[in-house]
Amino acid sequence: MKKVITYGTFDLLHKGHVNLLQEARKLGDYLIVAVSTDTFNALKGKEAAYIPWEDRKFLLEALSCVDRVIPETNWEQKIVDIQEHNIDLFVMGDDWKGEFDYLKDYCDVAYISRTAGISTTKIKIDLKVIAQN
């Protein structure tokens, strides 16, 4: 069985997220999604997720392409996750291209094209504009 893993915040789950997850799943037999916890998002200096971690986990687990959801609590856990879950392929969106090539010592690494025209950041900006009008 070929195991795949990917990471992300997956806040305001949208078509781009689902496309990425479906494409990642096509590359293997089992997809693990590591979701940034609310605490880790704060440590990264990111704006707080609109949707709490438990709810983001719940939404991702409802997708047929996702086999398991685990928490992402720190930057350094990727190698440990790869080893503990016997991962064959690490997948990220191509906006991260090259950033995770160091993981090639542990498994294959692939970068998937993002869905054009959509991102959580864009959605949040659009919602702020709507709220101001």
44 classed as catalytic: yes
One of 2, 15, 26, 46 is an active-site residue; which one? 46
CA triple 31-103-71, angle to 5 deg: 45
Cα 19 from Cα 31, distance rounded (Å): 13
104 classed as catalytic: no
CA distances, 18 to each of 58, 98, 114, 124 (Å): 14, 22, 11, 18
One of 26, 44, 104, 128 is an active-site residue; which one? 44
Q: Which residue numbers are catalytic?
A: 44, 46
